[in-house]
Amino acid sequence: VEEQANGHYPTFREIMLALHYNSVSTVFQHVKKLENLGYLVSDGKARSLRSTKNQFHGFPILGTIHAGGPTIAVEEIQGFLPLPIDQRAHPNAFLLRVKGDSMIGAHIDEGDLVVVDPDTTPVEGDICVAVIGEEATVKKIEKRRNGFYLVPENPYYSPIYITRDTKIIGKVIGLWRSRF
């Protein structure tokens, strides 16, 4: 569905005629399906139907997370990155640039961007972003005999016991590696 030369988007009837359908209701059914899939948007008014293909959808890059010892957590939007992740399923997801090497065993390297969903609660075995006091880190959650730990994926770093002061920010749901 493209904007026409006159600056208006087509009506259902115009779409019906252009596609040689016999009924506006057939167009309506197809349009609703495309809206549900996120390909079209409409505000419900006449001639408001438009394609999302040229709209910018991206996840914010909020700063750096240390894969090493915990460091001061600072949030600042550094930009946006469109990713092949369903943004409707993870509307509050964000990216953090990894600094350090404590997660190299999980193939998370310095310079990578981890995609964090604050609405998804991580469970044992998941990689998460956590804040301890004012310090942030990315680690794997592991249950041990005496409680839960944030565990690095590098033997040169020590696990961190999860206390009441530990705030789990979200689950790491993806990784973006870009080497220029």
Residues taking part in catalysis: 102, 139
The secondary structure of 38-98 as a DSSP string is TSEE--SSTT--EE-TTS---EEEEEEEESSS-EE------EEE--SS-TTTSTT-EEEEE
Token look-up 């959650």 returns 141
Q: How far apart are alpha carbons 108 and 102 in whole angstroms?
A: 8
Neighbours of 48 (CB within 10 A): 11
- pLDDT 10s digits, 91-121: 888 899 999 999 999 999 999 999 999 999 9
- pLDDT 10s digits, 40-60: 777 777 677 766 664 545 788
pLDDT in single tens digits along all 180 residues of the chain: 454 555 567 788 888 888 888 888 988 888 788 777 666 777 777 677 766 664 545 788 887 887 765 554 556 677 778 777 777 778 888 899 999 999 999 999 999 999 999 999 999 999 999 998 878 899 999 999 999 999 999 999 999 999 999 999 999 999 988 764
Burial of 100 from C-beta contacts in 10 A (0-12 / 13-18 / 19+): buried
The first and second tokens of residue 179, run together, are 């080497």
CATH of 59-176, picked from 2.10.109.10, 3.40.50.300, 1.10.10.10, 3.30.10.20, is 2.10.109.10
- Check residue 73 and give its pLDDT: 53
Tell me the CA distances in angstroms from 32 to 19, 35, 51, 93, 169, one per residue in order. 16, 5, 13, 26, 35
pLDDT over 70 percentage in the chain: 80
- Where exactly are the structural domains of the chain? 12-51, 59-176
Q: Which residues contact 36 (CB under 8 A, 6 or more apart)?
A: none
Tell me the CA distances in angstroms from 25 to 16, 35, 50, one per residue in order. 9, 15, 18
